[in-house]
Chains A and B, each alone.
Chain A
Amino acid sequence: MDRYIELWVESLPQLLLAAAQVTIPLTIIAFVLSLVIGLFSTAARNLGRFNPLNWLATTYVWIFRGTPLLVQLFLVFYGLPRVGITLDTWSAAIIALSLNTGAYVAETFRSAYASIPRGQFEAARTLNFTRAQTLRHVVIPQATRIALPPLGNDLIDLVKGTSLVSVISMVDLFQSGKQVAARTFEPLAMYLEVAAIYLVIFTLLSIGQQYLEKRTSRYVRTANA
């Protein structure tokens, strides 16, 4: 046990550095991009049934939800060079992760939008709001509250998904732990430590999510209030 504690203390700075340099920035960049992608996809999928942008967004979501992230990452990093597009590891990771998460976020936004009752739109129309005003003052405040829990899921999936970038030789939290494990011949100790750090990140995000949910739900009387 003493040997484990010694190992953990010794390797912790290296793992935290990998998390701070790769796992966390990659998560933040990819999540911000996926929110943008999700917004545009949702807007496109609310266009007319015969609008090509609608088809494009629907096809995008279909493909990226329907194939594994690992396959997408390999296609972007190892596949694209065959058609003349060679990307460095960071770009490939950001593209694959944000496109993948973007597809899930698009579904989250679509369901949040769909859950706004028709009466809300009718009330806005009779009060002569423009479409933009209806979106800004009626739909988005309510949809945000509904989207938060599934959006939290999307974000947490993304954090864990970043561990796959180790296969394109990025030294993220997981890859860093793997290196130490190989050097010390202590896989159990190291992967437990890696798992614990992911768990800490997850816990911090959950607390943030709870705070946001509380803030956006002030107007709702809950059953146990």
Chain B
Amino acid sequence: MLSVKNLSKSFDGNTILRDISLDVAAGETTVILGPSGSGKSTLLRCLNLLETPELGQLSIEGDTVDFGTDLTDEQVRTIRQHSAMVFQNFNLFPHLTAQQNVALAPVLNGKKSKAEAKKLAGQLLAKVGLEHKADAYPDNLSGGQQQRVAIARALAVAPDYLLFDEPTSALDPELEAEVIQVLMGLAAEKRSLVVVTHNMAFARRVADRIIFLDGGTVAYNGAPAGFFASDHARIQRFLQIFEMTDYKI
């Protein structure tokens, strides 16, 4: 269980998240939607403490931190252990091969020997369909391949929650499909996924729960069916953008 209570975050006096409270169940796929600037990426980054909220509480699998006072390194590392992040721009380490990218964290975190980590990396690359690219450098991989390596790298630290920050926004549709397939596979395995995305088909078909943020507050939190049938004006306006029904050509 991942739970957020009364979370607030602002940048330079600009409030991005206002008093957010929500629970994310383990084994579910939670999709966070919202217009640009609604705070969805910031919320996701707060779950991994890439951003530190000013106020509120975060608990993941029994470990809890209260914000408002400075966190110790120990606290940050404990909370971070429970999740791993996949970024929009992949952020692979360019000087390491695909396999080295995946194998590095388990070794540095002291969880695996080099040989074990290498074996694990091979398995995870096979899982994302890239066993034949183990020795390739990121620069020689397509965007979709890079993102799949990044997913394998995140899986390598055995996180309780996988966080995806617009994982397909930098990809063209065919490469996006490669990555979405991997995500669907993970969802089918009942991994706990939290996905910020603009891919409505994914949200509709794969999400167990949809959280819609608007102006830094939760405007919807529930089943996908209810979201896509919502009569909430802001949600309807948001969905119409994807349907392109309000454009005149």
- Which A residues form the contact surface with B (CB < 8 A)? 117, 119-120, 122-123, 125-130, 133, 137-138, 141-142, 145, 218-221
Closest to A217 in B: B95
CB distance from A27 to the nearest CB of B (A): 29
Closest to A216 in B: B95
> Which residue of B93, B137, B139, B157 contacts A120 across the interface (Cβ within 8 Å)?
B93
Say if the beta carbon of B2 comes within 8 Å of chain A.
no
CB distance from A139 to the nearest CB of B (A): 10
Q: Tell whether, in the assembled complex, residue B95 and residue A141 are in contact, meaning their CB atoms are under 8 Å apart.
A: yes
Closest to B89 in A: A119
Instruction: Please count how many residues in chain B sit with their CB below 8 Å of the partner chain's CB atoms.
Output: 27
Say if the beta carbon of B87 comes within 8 Å of chain A.
yes
Q: Tell whether, in the assembled complex, residue A122 and residue B105 are in contact, meaning their CB atoms are under 8 Å apart.
A: no
Q: Tell whether, in the assembled complex, residue B108 and residue A129 are in contact, meaning their CB atoms are under 8 Å apart.
A: yes
Q: How far is the CA of A54 from the CA of B154 in the complex (A)?
A: 36
Given contacts A126-B83, A126-B154, 13 further A-B contacts (CB under 8 A): A119-B89, A120-B93, A123-B85, A126-B50, A126-B84, A126-B85, A127-B105, A127-B109, A127-B153, A128-B109, A137-B108, A142-B94, A220-B94
Whether A128 contacts B91 in the complex (CB less than 8 A), given A133-B108, A219-B137, A221-B139, comes out as no
Q: How far is the CA of A205 from the CA of B134 in the complex (A)?
A: 36
- Consensus secondary structure, chain A interface: helix
CB distance from B146 to the nearest CB of A (A): 12
Closest to A130 in B: B108
Residues of A within 8 A of B105 (CB): 127-129
What would be 23 A-B contacts, judged by CB atoms less than 8 Å apart? Answer: A119-B87, A119-B91, A120-B91, A120-B93, A122-B50, A122-B85, A123-B91, A123-B92, A125-B50, A125-B80, A126-B48, A126-B80, A126-B83, A127-B84, A127-B104, A128-B109, A128-B157, A133-B108, A219-B96, A219-B137, A219-B138, A219-B139, A220-B137
Query: Considering the complex, which residues of chain B in the window 78-128 have a beta carbon less than 8 Å from any beta carbon of chain A?
Result: 80-81, 83-85, 87, 89, 91-96, 104-105, 108-109
Q: Tell whether, in the assembled complex, residue B104 and residue A221 are in contact, meaning their CB atoms are under 8 Å apart.
A: no
Q: How far is the CA of A117 from the CA of B93 in the complex (A)?
A: 10
Say if the beta carbon of B140 comes within 8 Å of chain A.
yes
CB distance from B194 to the nearest CB of A (A): 13
Q: Tell whether, in the assembled complex, residue B140 and residue A221 are in contact, meaning their CB atoms are under 8 Å apart.
A: yes
Q: How far is the CA of A219 from the CA of B92 in the complex (A)?
A: 12
CB distance from A7 to the nearest CB of B (A): 51
Q: How far is the CA of A128 from the CA of B95 in the complex (A)?
A: 19
Say if the beta carbon of B77 comes within 8 Å of chain A.
yes
CB distance from A121 to the nearest CB of B (A): 9
- Of listed A117, A137, A218, residue having the most chain B CB within 10 A: A137
CB distance from B118 to the nearest CB of A (A): 15
- Of listed B80, B89, B91, residue having the most chain A CB within 10 A: B91
Residues of B within 8 A of A120 (CB): 91, 93
Q: How far is the CA of A133 from the CA of B106 in the complex (A)?
A: 12
CB distance from B56 to the nearest CB of A (A): 20
Whether A123 contacts B87 in the complex (CB less than 8 A), given A128-B109, A220-B94, comes out as yes
